[in-house]
Amino acid sequence: MADYLAVSWRHDFEEEPDLIYYEVQEDSSVTRMVEHFKDGALVRDNLELATAREDSETPLTCLCGGQFPAADKIDQVMKPPQFDVKPIAPRRFEGLFRAARNKD
């Protein structure tokens, strides 16, 4: 069963999301995500879209370039106060994913 996480990212970069929602599988791969930007825009990504953008014959297996940090290591990688990680309900993730536009 997948875990669903909301990661708040405090920064001053205009082009980067301030909140990222992740669907993380048991093997720590990120299979879907939604990025929220300061202007309110929601952008979704999944393995199928990412593979098509990469124009790869080999399907991608994770959106985060490797494995998502294990629960006991998240604070070491996504260090507070710049990052705040919280679990969210699968239904909330699904609603956000449906509302978002595809990543270019």
Q: According to the model, what pLDDT value does residue 11 have?
A: 95
Per-residue pLDDT tens over the stretch 24-59: 999 999 999 999 999 999 999 999 999 999 887 888
Per-residue pLDDT tens over the stretch 5-25: 999 999 999 899 999 999 999
- Calculate the CA dihedral of residues 7, 19, 43, 32 and round it to 10 degrees: 0
Would you say residue 77 has pLDDT above 90?
no
Please, where are the H alpha helices in the chain?
47-54, 74-77, 90-99
How far apart CA 90 and CA 100 sit, in angstroms, is 15
Q: What predicted TM-score, i.e. pTM, was given to this entire model?
A: 0.91
Would you say residue 66 has pLDDT above 90?
no
Per-residue pLDDT tens over the stretch 81-92: 899 999 999 999
Contact status, residue 44 vs residue 34, Cβ threshold 8 Å = yes
